[in-house]
Chains A and B, each alone.
Chain A
C-alpha cells in the first residue's frame, strides 16, 4: 500500500509538472515563436529570394543579394559602421571601466544611488537624448558659444562623424557600465590583496588579476554598446546629417525607400551574424577564464 501511494504520488507530480509546463510556458513560448522566431526566420529566408517590384519578395531563389553586399559601396558602408561603432565601444570602455570601478569603491548606500543615476538616462526617450546633442552641438549651441568666447569657435561640430560617436556613446554608455560593475562586484578582494602581499605592483595586479577576471563583463558591455550602435539609424541621421551612412540607415532605406527587402534582409543578417559571433567569443573567453581559475 505504501508502494502504491508513492507510485500514484509520483504520477500526480508528473501530471502536475506537465500541466505546469503547458499552462505557464505554453502561452509565452507560443507568442515568442510566432512574433519573434518566425519573423527572424523570415528575414533569413527572404535574403535568398528575389525582390518584388513594389517591395515584398518574389519566391525565386538567388544568391545575388549576398553578392551585392560585397560591392565596394556597401563594403565601404559596412566598414564605416564598424569603425564608428568600434570607436564608440572603445571610448565607452575607457570611460566605463574606471567609472564602474569607482562605483564599487563607494559606500553601500551611495553605490545604489550612483548606479540608479547611471541607469536613469538609459530609460528615457532615445530620440530626446539624441535631440539633446543637436541642441548642444549646433552652431548656436552652448559648446560653440563657449568656444567663441575663448576665441576658438565656432566650429562645425554637428553633422560630423564625431557628433555621431558622441550621440551613440551617450545613448549606450550605461550598458557598458552595468555589466562591468556586476563583474567587478563579484571580484574577490582577497585575490588582489594576495597579489600585492606577494609583491606584485598595482600595475601587475591589475594586468594579471583584475583585468582578466573582469574581461567577460567588459566583453558583454562591449557587445551591448557595439551591436545597437551598428544597427542605429537615428543617430547617424540626426547628428550625422545624412553624411555618415551606417548599416542601420541602409537597412531602413531598403525596407522603406528602395523597397528591396531581400537585400535589406542580407544587411540585417550581417548584424545578427556579428552579434552571434561576438557572443560566442564572449562565452569562450568567459569559460577559459573561469576554467583557469579552477585549476589554479
Chain B
C-alpha cells in the first residue's frame, strides 16, 4: 500500500464510496429506534419483523423456486454450449451469440420476452420468469466455463479416447471433473443473479406470484422503513458469501 503514493487517494475514495452506503444500511438494521438517525440501542426486532411479514416470505419462496430451477437449467445448458463451442465449433460468432444475453440490456430482454409470451400464448407466472432467467444465467455459466476450458488440455480427452474409453465415459470422467470448479462457480453466480434480478422479472412475472425483488420494489417506493434495512443486510450476506465462495473455487478473479 505504501508504494502507491498519490494513487492511494482514488483507491481509498472508491472503496469508501462503494461501502459507506452498505455500512449505513447494516448499522441501521440493528437500530432499535424507528427514526433513521437516532440511535435507540442495539436491537434485532426488525429481523424478527421480517419473519412475520407474509408478503416477504411469499416473495422469498417464489424467488428461491425460480433461482434454484434457473441455476440447474442454466448450468447444464451453459456448460454444454461452452464445451461444444470450444471443442467442436471454434466459431467466434457462436461464442459471441452464447455470451450475448450477458451484454443485452435487461429491459430489452424483458420486453422482448413479454411480447414473445403474449404472442405464443404462454401465461405469465413463475415459469415465465424462470425461462427468462435461464437465458442470462446460461451466458454467465458459459463465460466462466469457457475461461476454464482455455486453460485445460484437450489432449487428456484425446488420450482417454485413444485408450478405448467411449465418448460418454471420457466426458464424465475427464471433461466434467476438470471443469468442476468453473461449473460450480458459474452455478453460484447464476443463483445470486437470479435471486436479485428485478427488471426482467418485472416484465415477465404474473401479478399473483411476485418474486422477492418485486416485493422489495413495492416496499421501497414508499420510502425508508427499518425492516427493509434488515432484509437488505440479510440479502447482502447471502450474495457476499456466495460470490466469495465462487471466487475461492475458481481462484480466477478475471472470470467473475
Contacts and interface: CB of A to CB of B under 8 A. Distances in A.
A128 interface: yes
A123 to B, nearest CB: 5
B14 A25 contact: no
Contacts of A131: 25, 216, 220, 224, 228, 232
A271 B108 contact: yes
Given A141-B36, A251-B111, 6 more contacts: A36-B135, A121-B19, A125-B213, A228-B106, A255-B111, A268-B108
A153 interface: no
Interface of A: 16-17, 19-21, 23-29, 31-32, 35-36, 38-40, 42-43, 46, 56-57, 95-96, 98-99, 101-103, 105-106, 110, 112, 114-121, 123-136, 138, 140-142, 145, 170, 173-174, 177, 182, 227-228, 230-234, 237-238, 248, 251-252, 255-256, 261, 264-265, 268, 271-272, 275
Interface string B76-109: 0110110111011100001001101101111111
Q: Which 7 A-B pairs have the closest CB atoms?
A: A24-B84, A39-B112, A28-B81, A25-B84, A132-B21, A98-B10, A102-B7
Nearest to B213: A127
A36 B97 CA distance: 10
A35 B120 CA distance: 12
The secondary structure that dominates the A interface is helix
A120 to B, nearest CB: 6
A123 B138 CA distance: 17
Contacts of B235: 124-125, 128
Contacts of B41: none
B45 interface: no
B192 interface: yes
Contacts of B253: 112, 115-116, 119
B256 A119 contact: yes
A123 B243 contact: yes
B198 interface: yes
B217 interface: yes
B113 to A, nearest CB: 5
11 contacts: A21-B89, A26-B84, A39-B109, A57-B115, A114-B15, A117-B19, A125-B198, A142-B37, A227-B105, A231-B106, A275-B105
Contacts of A264: 111
A27 B138 CA distance: 11
A106 B4 contact: yes
B247 A140 contact: no
A35 B85 CA distance: 19
A57 B119 CA distance: 9
Contacts of B213: 125-127
Contact of A261 (B97, B106, B115, B216): B115
Nearest to B248: A116
A102 B22 contact: no
B115 A43 contact: yes
Contact of A99 (B14, B83, B247): B14
B112 A126 contact: no
Contact of A28 (B98, B167, B236): B98
A252 B107 contact: yes
A20 B13 CA distance: 50
A248 B107 contact: yes
A141 B37 contact: yes
B26 to A, nearest CB: 10
A43 B111 contact: yes
B107 A271 contact: yes
Contacts of B14: 95-96, 99, 118, 173, 177
Nearest to A28: B81
A233 B202 CA distance: 11
B80 A27 contact: yes
Nearest to B81: A28
Given A31-B77, A43-B112, A123-B192, A102 B84 contact: no
A125 B107 contact: no
A131 B216 CA distance: 10
A76 to B, nearest CB: 20
Given A25-B80, A39-B109, A233-B107, A255 B203 contact: yes
A115 to B, nearest CB: 5
Contacts of B106: 228, 231
B223 A35 contact: no
A128 B111 contact: no
A128 B232 contact: yes
B88 A24 contact: yes
B105 A228 contact: yes
Contacts of B108: 40, 43, 231, 268, 271-272
Interface in B185-223: 189, 192-193, 195-196, 198-199, 202-203, 213, 216-217, 220-221, 223
